Homo-oligomer: A and B are copies of this chain.
Amino acid sequence: MHMFRKNIKTKSGEGLIIREAIATDASTLIEYVNKVVGESNFLTLGVGDFNKTVEEEEKIIEDHSSAKNRIFLVAEINGKVVGLLNVNASNKPRLKHIGDFGVTVLKDHWGKGIGSSLIEAMLDWAKSTEIIRKINLNVQANNEAAIALYKKFGFEIEGIIRRDSFIDGKFYDAYAMGILIN
């Protein structure tokens, strides 16, 4: 059980809270995901593809907050969820040092540094775990803004994975990116 909470400001001076998701966020997060998947074509979830029930989402949140190598971070402005970052990891002894993450921000809040704040908080957390020694992500190879952001934080391209998603009738390659946590 880790309880992470940070009060900061966006680039435009708004109050921004980065905190761990809690079970009572479940229905809000389902709404959030259903909105965000319609705002970008760079995600592995499309419109209508996310079908978790509130109970399932609660369980995911609890699985994250009880695991030392997983975290579910929420970015909030004025009590509204505007961004989400999720680190998944295996329980297997040979793999439990690896976190896989994904991050999204609502389109209305792009350009405010919210993705950066989430990634920064995640990397701080990862270093504090003493379990996580590697963070991985996959990003669509033509998502230049995201790739630049990840590189800013020290992520390196480790591979080009062919046909890593199929969106509107077309295959897209992805970069496998990773950063060592020491």
Contact = CB atoms under 8 A, between A and B. Distances in A.
Contact of A49 (B46, B94, B161): B94
B98 A164 contact: yes
Interface residues of A, number: 29
A161 B133 contact: no
B176 A162 contact: no
A134 to B, nearest CB: 4
A160 interface: yes
B162 A158 contact: yes
A133 B95 contact: no
A152 interface: no
Interface stretch (A18-26, A102-110, A165-173): A165-173
Contacts of A161: 136, 158-159, 176, 178
Interface string A91-129: 011111110000000000000000000000000000000
Interface of A: 43-46, 49, 92-98, 133-134, 136, 158-167, 171, 176, 178, 180
